[in-house]
Amino acid sequence: MSPDRLVYMANQIGRFFAHQPPENAVASTADHLKKFWDPRMRAAIFAHVEQGGAGLEPIALAAVRTLKAQAERLTIANP
């Protein structure tokens, strides 16, 4: 799946939760990505963020960064 499509989808999810307080919107978006996105999709959006995250809106960008940090902590804890 192309990065543009993933960005579009992540932004749509972020917009869905945008009515919540900002920290809840980020957490809800991250939770959705964790539950419903294939690991390959998450890896691709993580790579996109590492390259600057162009096109991601603030909620989606924060959610991806949150999810990426969680994944990194799990990797460190369980090598």
Q: What is the pLDDT of residues 47-70, one digit of tens each?
A: 999 999 999 999 999 999 999 999
Residues 6+ apart with CB under 8 A from 67: 30, 33, 34, 42, 46
Q: Token pair 């963020």 is at which residue?
A: 49
1 pLDDT tier (thresholds 50, 70, 90): confident
- Across residues 31-48, what is the average pLDDT? 97
What's 37's DSSP letter? S
Of 20, 57, 63, 26, give the one whose Cα is nearest residue 42.
63
Domain boundaries in the chain? Answer: 3-77
